[in-house]
Amino acid sequence: MTGRSGAAGDEPLRGRTVGITAERRAEEFRTALERQGATVRHAPTIRIVPLSTDERLRSATTALLDRPADLVVITTGQGFKGWMSAATDWELGDRLRSELGNARLVVRGPKAKGAVRAEGLAEEWSSPEETNADALRYLLDRGVAGFRVAVQLHGAPLPEFVGALESAGADVVELQPYRWLHPLDVDAVHRLAEAAIAGEIDALAFTSAPAAANLLTLVREHGRYEAFTDALRRTVLCACVGPVTAAPLVEHGIPVVQPQRQRLGALVKLLAAELPER
């Protein structure tokens, strides 16, 4: 395996091959890894449904406007931005912004906070731990019985989060920007898996739970699940941007490494630190 030329100190990933599965921000991720000297193999494992044509999201947004929420949970900055952009395309942006201004906003960390404030809104509380679990504790500790609660999801449902709110007496409406489908090029995913099995991949890097979960699904459908997961347990370093992303792999007994900060740049730095030691 060969990477770009350059001094090893400047390019700690020179001679290493990293597979990435993201669709969103994939070019940014590839470029950052290549700057570290890595050879990058890209095979998106999911395909994002375009927001402006997502009738499910539009229907949920309309339902929220018809019956406004008392509490709104913003889980990701990117998801919130996408939701507001889609609402603007549907000529519902001003109305949605007004209703959110009348609601109590709970956000899951600084990126979500920044997105909310960029719309001229203010949060009631932001999770210092940047986790859904922390946000859920905040809500349950203060009580949600009888409240209508809107939860902005990102990429995947949160059944435990939503179920806990409903069990506590909340009326929950879910809004899911960035729903995903199977990728257009499934064969590219199969080739990436075969390369990992053959020892041609040093690391796989994941930035979303759906991408990680669907990779395992596609490999299983391909009939190569056992060989692939064995490679991930023994020879391929699996690096995930955070615990939510890592969960589908951990559930299958696959070891993972994660940066302390859940950021793309931190994930690249982690790979640059970990791979040369292996």
**One domain, residues 119 and 143:** yes
Q: Do 58 and 86 meet the contact criterion of CB atoms below 8 Å apart?
A: yes
Q: Which two tokens stand for residue 260?
A: 């302390």
**One domain, residues 43 and 114:** no
For residue 2, being part of any structural domain is answered with no
**One domain, residues 227 and 128:** no
Q: What is the pLDDT of residues 190-226, one digit of tens each?
A: 999 999 999 999 999 999 888 999 999 999 999 999 9
For residue 3, being part of any structural domain is answered with no
**One domain, residues 29 and 120:** no
Q: Tell me the CATH number at 56.
A: 3.40.50.10090
**One domain, residues 155 and 253:** no
Q: Tell me what pLDDT residue 23 has.
A: 85
C-alpha–C-alpha distance, residues 268 and 166, integer Å: 38
Q: Which two tokens stand for residue 224?
A: 């190569």
**One domain, residues 59 and 170:** yes
Angle (nearest 5°) at CA 136 between 25 and 217: 45
35 is in which domain, residue-wise? 17-48+182-277
- The C-alpha torsion from 256 through 257 and 260 to 264, rounded to 10°, is -90
Bridge-based pairing of strands 180-181 and 47-48 is: antiparallel
**One domain, residues 233 and 258:** yes
Q: How many CB atoms lie within 10 A of CB 78?
A: 17
For residue 238, being part of any structural domain is answered with yes
Q: Tell me what pLDDT residue 6 has.
A: 40
Packing angle of the helix pair 77-89, 55-66 (nearest 10 deg): 80
**One domain, residues 91 and 41:** no
Last residue of a domain, one of 147, 175, 203: 175
Q: How many residues does the chain have?
A: 278
169: left (phi over 0), alpha (psi -120 to 50) or beta: left
**One domain, residues 168 and 59:** yes
**One domain, residues 253 and 208:** yes
Q: Tell me what pLDDT residue 181 has.
A: 84
Q: Tell me what pLDDT residue 1 has.
A: 40
Handedness of CA 273, 275, 276, 277 (dihedral sign): positive
For residue 5, being part of any structural domain is answered with no
Indicate yes or no: pTM above 0.85.
no
Last residue of a domain, one of 129, 158, 175: 175
User: Which parts of the chain register pLDDT below 70?
Assistant: 1-9, 155
| Total domains in the fold of the chain | 2
CA-wise closest residue to 111 among 99, 123, 100: 123
Last residue of a domain, one of 175, 192, 215: 175
For residue 12, being part of any structural domain is answered with no
**One domain, residues 63 and 31:** no
**One domain, residues 112 and 97:** yes
